[in-house]
Structure 1
């Protein structure tokens, strides 16, 4: 592990093994080229994160790409996360375009240019798969957050990531299943699928912590929206509704007012979302208790 520009850079042990094998088998040039492409991809994430005031804690280089560990800016809008996620794949777009142009113009060996185009498109396609922590998984979370509450977005993206990882594992094992056990297994794809499945399983287990962190930062974002005069998005619940399920209805990029109604349908009180957050943190009760 090294520290460069305030960011920890680390190599996955399997990547180190692959580099050693590449030296022994004569494919070190191809691996180093892929390493540089991944490095530039991750630099795109880091530059965008710094531009928005996010902190990049660590970038881990894996056999199939890289993963940037970010410390989210408190109360940051979801579109910033989407922009940071897109900043990586955009590096592969311009590198593929540059390689194609140089190859077509004769300034680069045609075979090398074709390899660079193919490698960049492969990294671009892979990173846009809707599996967290890949860029596509982060973009899926952003897209879901446009319509779904934040808690539901976390759950959906975790389950979608696990489902897609299982499909990847199944595809890797397909030759073995199709040929009655005589076919080969796509070992690289299988290893990646297992890694992503484990990552999303861990991500799913962390949802309560992620949701608590979301609530803890609501105060700052709420203050900013109130000062800017933004519209509040209403949430309507009965007085018997639990506080914890009410808090789970919050959307990431909206400020909420909670309307509490009695059984005949009369409004008996209106709660700002900060009051609901305070009630959530102080213990499980009914929403009507917050009106007293």
Structure 2
């Protein structure tokens, strides 16, 4: 691991295994090219994130791309998150076109040019699969942020990612029965990695949600700066506080209306009061009205 421009850069153990295998089989040039492609792919993410004044803590390089960890994760607007995600595959577009052009102009050996543009095509398209933490998974998260509250967005992202990772593993295993090539080991390993990552993500949703709540003040600042209207949330007096905070949306600031079953509004509180009470309350299942008596 090295630190450059304030960012920790590391190579994932999965990539290390690929490197060892490539060196042992004599594919060093292909390995070095793959490393450069993945590095430029991740630099694309970092440059766009930095343009939004976001802090990138660490970049982990993987054989099919990488993972850039943002310090501001959870408070980044969905639109910015989508632009950061798509910036990686866009690097593969220009690199692939450049390699193809060099081959057509005779500047590179046609076979080598074909390898480089096909490698970029493979990495770019693979990263667009709607599986977290691939770029396609992050684009899916950004899209879901406009149709679901934050907690539901995380749940659906993890569920879809687990399902698609399982399908990837199943396909890799099924080739043993339909092809003379046997099991697609690379696809199997990547599928297992993505499945494990998303299973861990699913189990850590409660902790990730708390991190989201701890950065809600930034949403308030952006809302006030834009002069945007607060989004109302109407809840029953007896709803547990944990159920109320799970109704918060990613880019919306909320006013919480506490309503009796008869339809009378008892109290209106800004979301900050609800979030602060939740973060300090020992029993998150207490009725929300009990916190404001």
TM-aligned CA deviation for residue 231 of structure 1: 1.0
The answer to whether the 8 Å contact 1:261/1:269 transfers is yes
Structural mapping, 1:208-247, within 5 Å = 208-247=206-245
Residues 199-233 of structure 1, C-alpha deviation per residue, up to 9 Å, x if partnerless? 11111111111111111111232133134321111
1:146 aligned residue: 146
Tell me which moved more, 244-253 or 218-227: 218-227
Pairing of 1:80-229 with structure 2 (within 5 A) = 80-178=80-178, 184-229=182-227
Q: Distance in 1 between matches of 2:222 and 2:120?
A: 40
| Cα separation, partners in 2 of 1:176 and 1:232, compared to 1, 3 Å | same
Residue 59 of structure 1 corresponds to which residue in structure 2?
Answer: 59
TM value normalised by structure 2? 0.92
Residue 12 of structure 2 aligns with which residue? 12
| Residues 7 and 282 of structure 1, relative CA distance in 2, 3 Å threshold | closer
* Matched length: 290
Task: State how far apart, in whole Å, the 2-side matches of 1:54 and 1:73 are.
Answer: 9
Q: 1:34 to 1:269 in 2, by over 3 A?
A: same
Q: Distance in 1 between matches of 2:156 and 2:96?
A: 33
Gapped runs of 5+ residues in structure 2? Answer: none
Residues 39-81 of structure 1: CA deviation (Å, up to 9, x unaligned): 1001111111211122222222223332222212674312222
Give the CA RMSD over aligned residues. 1.9
Q: Which residue of 2 aligns with 1:288?
A: 289
Displacement of 1:20: 3.3
Distance (Å, rounded) in 1 between the aligned partners of 2:8 and 2:226: 37
Q: What does residue 2 of structure 2 align with?
A: 2
Contact 2:64–2:127, Cα closer than 8 Å, also in 1: no
Q: 1:54, 1:73 within 8 Å by CA — same for their partners in 2?
A: no
Partners of 2:119 and 2:149 in 1: CA distance = 37
| Structure 1 segments of 4+ aligned residues over 6 angstroms from their partners | none
Distance 2:287 2:243 in 1: 10
Shift of 1:248: 0.4
TM-score when scaled to structure 1? 0.92
